[in-house]
């Protein structure tokens, strides 16, 4: 019968190594959707306003 040795890390960090890629993926997906929302805002709200500016006022 062999005895198993405990890893050098215990407590909170013991299961974190397996969860870290999933947490990173969730963070990255949230960041992508945030930026996508900003892009849509500019395309839907800001870009159409350019047509309302006359050529004399356009800087």
Q: What would the pLDDT profile of 2-20 be if each residue is shown by its tens digit?
A: 677 666 655 666 666 668 8
Lowest-pLDDT range of 21-25, 33-37, 38-42, 52-56: 52-56
What is the spatial distance between Cα 22 and Cα 54, in angstroms, rounded to a whole number?
50
Through-space distance between the first and last CA atoms of the chain, rounded to whole angstroms: 81
What is the spatial distance between Cα 45 and Cα 37, in angstroms, rounded to a whole number?
12
Q: Taking the model in full, what pTM does it have?
A: 0.57
What is the spatial distance between Cα 7 and Cα 14, in angstroms, rounded to a whole number?
8
- Among residues 7, 27, 29, 32, which one has the least CA distance to residue 17? 7
Question: Residue 47 pLDDT > 70, yes or no?
Answer: yes
């Amino acid at each position: 019968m062999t005895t198993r040795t405990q890893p050098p890390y215990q407590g909170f960090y013991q299961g974190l190594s397996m969860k870290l890629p999933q947490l990173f993926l969730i963070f990255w997906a949230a960041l992508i959707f945030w930026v996508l929302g900003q892009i849509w805002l500019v395309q839907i709200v800001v870009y159409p306003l350019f047509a309302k500016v006359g050529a004399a006022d356009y800087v």
